[in-house]
Structure 1
Amino acid sequence: MTTPPQPEDGRLDPGLSAIMSERRQLINLAYRLLGSLADAEDVVQETYARWYAMSRRQQEAIESPGGWLTKVASRICLDLLGSARARRESYVGEWIPEPLPDRTEWISGRRGGTTVDPADRVTLDESINMAFLVVLESMTPAERVAFILHDVFRYSFAEVAEIVGRTPAACRQLASSARRRIRASQACAVPSTPRADIVRDFKQAWEAKDIDALIGLLDPDAAAIADGGGLVSAVLHPIEGGERIARALVDIVGEVPDLTMLERTVNGQPGLVTQQDGVTVVVMAFDVAGDRIKQIWAVRNPEKLRTWTTG
């Protein structure tokens, strides 16, 4: 983002630090609303551009700059969600939210990669696990905005109404509808115990091409969804059934024998990163219930892996 303008006398704008301190909150909000870190960053940049496009007098007339920034960012996201639905209808293959890296190797606790500006980090909590984000994709734009603002960020329905452009009662209904979708999908936004041991066993069985071990770790009704963004070798449809998934995984290792699998935190949960010649080519997130893997999301779209390959 470009450097914000400063007063002509060269002194630092006394309100600048307060305005910029909202950046992390805006990134967190926009990512949950859009499921894309790249889009979230664009929204935040546009939000600040609109703030600095105003005169000093207009800025000073705003009682709550943080509230103004949130309102503007949310409205931009609402507009983008409407157009995103149309774009994803023509998306080649399955669409999965952009996976967030934590760069913490949960097998040893070592941290690698470049230093990330704290203002640009998305808070890794239960509201960004992949299962939850996938359910958010099934909501209407208004449902998603109302639910995230009220249930996750704790804005009142009166405040949500100003953003969504509906009555508080209507926003209450939108959030209620969103909760029903979450309950129906069983993707609950409640902290669960990360099963790093299950994901680790899965990794070892995959590396060993042990089909029986993989089948034992997968729920019989498990599903695997891959997002290749139109890559020629992309899997265009979900693979259903534990045995089918196990055999498909072993086939992949057979076709590309030089893959390196790393244990990494993906959206706050234990996941796997697959590299080829040192380049990240797949990021995998898991939904584990009990001792079985119920869902696998594998992101191969290079545009969604840029935060995993930079640095």
Structure 2
Amino acid sequence: MQEQLAARFEADRDHLRAVAYRMLGSASEAEDALQEAWLRFARSDTGEVENLTGWLTTVVARVCLTMLRARSRREEPVESLPEPAAAGGPEDETVLADSVGLALLVVLDTLAPAERLAFVLHDLFAVPFDEIAPVVGRTPAATRQLASRARRRVRGADTPGGPVARRREVVRAFLAASRGGDFTGLVALLDPDATLRSDDVAVRMGGNREVVGADAVARDFSGRARDARPALLDGLPGAVWAPRGKVRVAVRFTFDGDTVTGLELLADPDTVARLDIGIED
């Protein structure tokens, strides 16, 4: 039985470590949180739990919240955040893979523990507010406000020349190149292995399910952004199609430095409704 529990926990370890790392900003503390979560899991009766990954995510979040609150009471600085490129073994690489970046981790460390938890779980891992609320001891509406307040703090860290500001300029340049049919300009902004993916609704609207490679993505997107506008999606640079002011499609960008590594077309109304969208001029 213990072996089965361990195997089930290991299946979610990478995801849980990613949650803990973003919550705590420390690889060693993230491992401590996972160890405590494992102990709680091993002692619990989870036979009736339908979504075990969600249950484990909540357990890790509770452990991290306790650690953050203890850290706040001590008023001790967090250990030096590891640079993503300095990851050592395979486990460290997994922790830092698809990282939100060192700059954002530094900003997150300025948030109150409950704000950080609400922002990380909802904005980075798409956990619904009604599931986060019991963890922070708030109503779903109050939890939404925590995340919104955190999101404003994160946006406030967007100083001139900072990573978010530079990426906003990259998005603007990408849209301009698309409007002008500038294939070379698009390719220059894309990682050689860049991907373009569309959700089911976007596919039904004519988008391709998946396009791989800078040349292919540039060809697919060339000329398509005539009516697209730059926007902040949950505080991060992106774009939207919003005829008559109603957002129909959102484009989520992912980056490596200032290079676009991926675009995701989101047209499902429920998905779009969950985004905090700020359309820019």
Q: Which has the higher helix share?
A: 2
Q: TM-score with structure 1 length normalisation? A: 0.48
Counterpart in the other structure of 1:59: 46
In the alignment, structure 1 residue 82 sits paired with structure 2 residue 54: no
What do you get for the CA RMSD once the two structures are aligned?
Answer: 3.0
Residues 103-142 of structure 1 mapped to structure 2, 5 A cutoff:
103=86, 115-117=89-91, 121-125=94-98, 127=100, 129-142=101-114
Counterpart in the other structure of 1:253: none
Residues 15-164 of structure 1 mapped to structure 2, 5 A cutoff:
16-54=6-44, 58-87=45-74, 89-91=75-77, 97-103=80-86, 115-117=89-91, 121-125=94-98, 127=100, 129-164=101-136
Q: Do the aligned partners of residues 140 and 103 (structure 1) sit closer, same or farther apart at CA in structure 2, a change above 3 Å counting?
A: closer
- In structure 2, distance between residues paired with 1:190 and 1:21: 37
Residues 165-180 of structure 1 mapped to structure 2, 5 A cutoff:
165-180=137-152
Q: Do the aligned partners of residues 50 and 86 (structure 1) sit closer, same or farther apart at CA in structure 2, a change above 3 Å counting?
A: same
- In structure 2, distance between residues paired with 1:149 and 1:141: 12
Alpha carbons 1:19, 1:65 under 8 Å: kept: no
Q: What code does the residue aligned with 2:70 have?
A: S
In the alignment, structure 1 residue 5 sits paired with structure 2 residue 2: yes
Q: What code does the residue aligned with 1:163 have?
A: V
- In structure 1, distance between residues paired with 2:95 and 2:23: 12
Q: Do the aligned partners of residues 97 and 173 (structure 1) sit closer, same or farther apart at CA in structure 2, a change above 3 Å counting?
A: farther
* C-alpha distance after superposition, 1:35-54 (max 9, x if no partner): 11100001001101111123
Alpha carbons 2:115, 2:146 under 8 Å: kept: yes
Q: What code does the residue aligned with 2:106 have?
A: V
Identity %: 39
Q: What code does the residue aligned with 1:125 have?
A: D
Counterpart in the other structure of 2:191: none
- In structure 1, distance between residues paired with 2:119 and 2:37: 21
- In structure 1, distance between residues paired with 2:79 and 2:115: 19
> 3-state DSSP class of the match of 1:142?
helix
- Larger RCO: 1 or 2 (CA < 8 Å, sep 6+): 1
Alpha carbons 2:84, 2:96 under 8 Å: kept: no
* C-alpha distance after superposition, 1:185-206 (max 9, x if no partner): 116669949xxxxxxxxxxxxx
- In structure 2, distance between residues paired with 1:138 and 1:148: 13
Q: How far did residue 59 of structure 1 move?
A: 2.4
Aligned length, in residue pairs: 169
- In structure 2, distance between residues paired with 1:5 and 1:191: 49
Residues 188-267 of structure 1 mapped to structure 2, 5 A cutoff:
192=167
Q: What code does the residue aligned with 2:42 have?
A: Y
- In structure 2, distance between residues paired with 1:5 and 1:126: 32
Q: Do the aligned partners of residues 100 and 50 (structure 1) sit closer, same or farther apart at CA in structure 2, a change above 3 Å counting?
A: farther
Alpha carbons 2:81, 2:102 under 8 Å: kept: no
Give ranges in structure 2 of 5+ residues lacking alignment: 169-254, 259-281
- In structure 2, distance between residues paired with 1:155 and 1:90: 29
- In structure 1, distance between residues paired with 2:7 and 2:43: 17
> 3-state DSSP class of the match of 1:170?
helix
Q: How far did residue 27 of structure 1 move?
A: 0.5
Q: Do the aligned partners of residues 184 and 22 (structure 1) sit closer, same or farther apart at CA in structure 2, a change above 3 Å counting?
A: same
- In structure 2, distance between residues paired with 1:62 and 1:137: 33
Q: What code does the residue aligned with 1:5 have?
A: Q
